Amino acid sequence: MTDLNHKTVPAERDIPVWDLGVRFFHWALVLLVITSFVTVKIGGNAMTYHVWSGYAILTLLIYRILWGVAGGTHARFTSFIRGPGAVISYMKGMFDRQQHASSLGHNPVGALSVVAMLLVLLFQATSGLFVNDDIAFEGPLYKFVGKEVSDKLMSLHQLNQRVIIGLVVLHFAAIAFHWFYHKENLVRPMLTGVKRVAGAVGNSRHGSTVLALVLLGCSGAAVYFLVNAAKQ
């Protein structure tokens, strides 16, 4: 006799979420942002490394924008950027453990954080090309804007550090919230590239590592050309 009360538990399986292109970007960006903050606090000769770190961050950001178009399923902006309705709906259920739905990639609120971080860091890296410290450093594009504009950009560059710190704190808070409140580990998929889920899910694939390397190389070449051409 069939037990009508018996419920079949969906089998769990590993689903590809963050491809190598995303994972490399994420962890390289973490190291470079830390490097930038440490070297600017040290000052002096360490500013050389601060500048190089800024160029590397700009390279990564250009690459991530390209990868957001050509990368794997969950790397693409079209897969996680949602409208206000989706964001509000998600926020209403954030604290409901029963109704909360785990997202394979970025959830609607997390997507806002990603976009905000990309834009803020893009401004930081780009503005650094124009700033001067009135002592020994002038950005490679300083000569195109002059001292008055450069000084204003320098003030914004310094102020934007606090915005970056604020976004990083929110990022850690979100990870902790999902870990302790929803028992969801967001760090493991960013290390392994896969997420263990139960039940049927849509198609999900990783992007091509070769293509990621090509786009990263093109991004680095673009920054190198920009910096060195401006010095001529």
Alpha helices in 93-208 (DSSP H): 108-127, 146-180, 187-192
| The pLDDT value given to residue 101 | 62
Counting Cα atoms < 13 Å in the Cβ hemisphere of 49 gives 16
| The pLDDT value given to residue 199 | 58
Say whether pLDDT at 97 is over 80: no
Q: Locate 61 and state its tokens.
A: 């950001």
Residue with tokens 């710190």: 165
Give SS3 for 195: strand
Q: Locate 226 and state its tokens.
A: 């920009």
Q: How much is the average pLDDT of 144-166?
A: 94
Alpha helices in the chain (DSSP H): 20-42, 47-70, 77-80, 84-92, 108-127, 146-180, 187-192, 209-230
pLDDT in tens, 34-49: 999 999 999 888 999 9
CA–CA separation, 224 and 156 (whole Å): 24
Q: How much is the average pLDDT of 52-77?
A: 96
Longest CA–CA separation in the chain, Å: 86
pLDDT in tens, 179-201: 998 888 899 999 999 988 765 56
| The pLDDT value given to residue 43 | 87
pLDDT in tens, 77-95: 999 998 899 888 888 888 8
Round the average pLDDT of the chain to a whole number and report it. Answer: 89
Q: How much is the average pLDDT of 60-70?
A: 97
| The pLDDT value given to residue 175 | 93
| The pLDDT value given to residue 198 | 67
Say whether pLDDT at 21 is over 70: yes
| The pLDDT value given to residue 3 | 53
User: Residue 230's CB: how many other CB atoms inside 10 A?
Assistant: 14
CA–CA separation, 71 and 212 (whole Å): 8
| The pLDDT value given to residue 128 | 95
Nearest to 130 by CA among 50, 232, 227, 41: 227
Give the list of residues 6+ apart from residue 180 with CB closer than 8 angstroms, or none: none
Say whether pLDDT at 30 is over 70: yes
Say whether pLDDT at 50 is over 70: yes
Name the residue with higher pLDDT: 154 or 94: 154
Q: How much is the average pLDDT of 118-138?
A: 91
Provide the percentage of residues in the chain whose pLDDT is more than 90: 63
